Amino acid sequence: MAWDEWEHLKAEAVARQSAQLQLNEASAGGAGSADGTGREAVSLRHTRKPWMHAAGVADDLSTATRVARTDLRAAHEGVVSGAEGLASLGTLNTVLTSWKRRLSAVRDECVSLQPSLRSAARELGEIDVKVGAETDAVQVPGTRRGE
């Protein structure tokens, strides 16, 4: 890659970065916004769907790890009685113990996350309703509600 091409790529990256940093600054045109602050209005939207989806995934993963741990245990039953004297038997048991511990940790984490994610969806929704009601109650002179 030629040096000038590298410099051009760096300049483009800097331009993209500075554009992202202008979220709360004056608008690029300098005209300002309708409220006279010079800042663009930012509309923040919240939905329950991503939080509830994540909670469902955590629940599914919890179930899958529980089943995998059971299947792993069942697959190793009887191995000890038929494999005495094999050098790999000790390693096999070490791996089994390690995977049981890891799968249990994943399952436990998912079990603890699932209700927290559902709670976040509920609480954020309640906050949205509360803040919406509070802002609707504000009377602004010169508007239809403020008369």
Question: Quick check: helix, strand or coil at residue 102?
Answer: helix
Q: What is the mean pLDDT of residues 122-130?
A: 81
**DSSP label of 40:** P
Q: What is the mean pLDDT of residues 2-17?
A: 73
pLDDT at 106: 94
Q: How do the domains of the chain map onto residue ranges?
A: 49-125
Beta-carbon neighbour count of residue 107 at 10 Å? 19
Q: What is the mean pLDDT of residues 32-56?
A: 71
Query: Which residues on adjacent β-strands are paired with residue 39?
Result: 26
Q: What is the mean pLDDT of residues 108-124?
A: 91
Task: Tell me: pLDDT of 101 over 90.
Answer: yes
pLDDT more than 90, % of the chain: 29
pLDDT at 85: 63
- The residue with greater pLDDT, 108 or 132, is 108
CA gap 22, 27 in Å, rounded: 8
pLDDT at 141: 78
pLDDT at 75: 85
Residue with tokens 């940093």: 21
- The residue with greater pLDDT, 146 or 2, is 2
pLDDT at 109: 94
Per-residue model confidence as pLDDT tens digits over 51-63: 899 999 999 999 9
